[in-house]
């Protein structure tokens, strides 16, 4: 039987937007499925050393936000929402982004950054967290994902 594998594209960088991919990666490894995460566009900031500990929750325009759009657009509301989400995650014993990515790396999840997004945002590999193995092109990503499933989060 062929080894199962999944490649997850993380294209959004909000705290609420990166966790689905991280949780799917964790579940994949727990099920013995080979897993890689490909961070592109704003998702790339989730693995940027200067941003990983300061991710926000995107409330504005979110139809499921508990706040009316007018209130969610007020300065600082995304920070307050991120703090509240952090407290809830802590109560549920869910690690923060940095710790979760460290745990995923230790479990064998492979982290990759998008070459084009790196160039667009003027980032270098040294700007990323150590868990990011390499910066790859989309063609490299497809070669990496070949024979497995691709999930876009």
Q: Which domain CATH number covers 16?
A: 3.40.1260.10
Strand blocks (E) in the chain:
5-10, 34-39, 110-114, 132-136, 149-152
> Residue 147 corresponds to which tokens in the numbers above?
């024979």
Kindly report, residue by residue over 24-56, the tens digit of the pLDDT: 999 999 999 999 999 999 999 999 999 999 988
Residue 78 is assigned to a structural domain of this protein: no
Residue 76 is assigned to a structural domain of this protein: no
Residue 83 is assigned to a structural domain of this protein: no
**Number of domain units in the chain:** 1
Residue 65 is assigned to a structural domain of this protein: no
Report yes or no on whether pTM surpasses 0.85: yes
What average pLDDT does the segment 108-135 reach? 98
Which residues form the domain of 38?
5-56+96-152
């Amino acid at each position: 039987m062929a080894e199962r594998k999944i490649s997850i594209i993380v294209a959004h960088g909000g705290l609420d937007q990166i966790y689905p991919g991280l949780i799917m990666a964790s579940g994949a490894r727990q099920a013995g499925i080979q897993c890689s995460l490909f961070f592109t566009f704003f998702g790339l900031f989730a693995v940027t050393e200067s941003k990983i500990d300061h991710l926000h929750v995107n409330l504005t325009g979110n139809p499921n936000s508990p706040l009316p759009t007018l209130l969610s657009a007020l300065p600082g509301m995304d920070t307050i929402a991120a703090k509240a989400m952090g407290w809830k995650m802590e109560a549920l014993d869910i690690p923060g982004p940095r710790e979760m990515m460290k745990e995923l790396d230790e479990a064998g999840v492979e982290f990759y950054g998008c070459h084009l997004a790196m160039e667009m945002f003027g980032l270098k590999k040294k700007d990323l967290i150590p868990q990011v193995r390499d910066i790859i092109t989309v063609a490299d990503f497809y070669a990496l994902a070949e024979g497995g499933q691709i999930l876009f989060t």
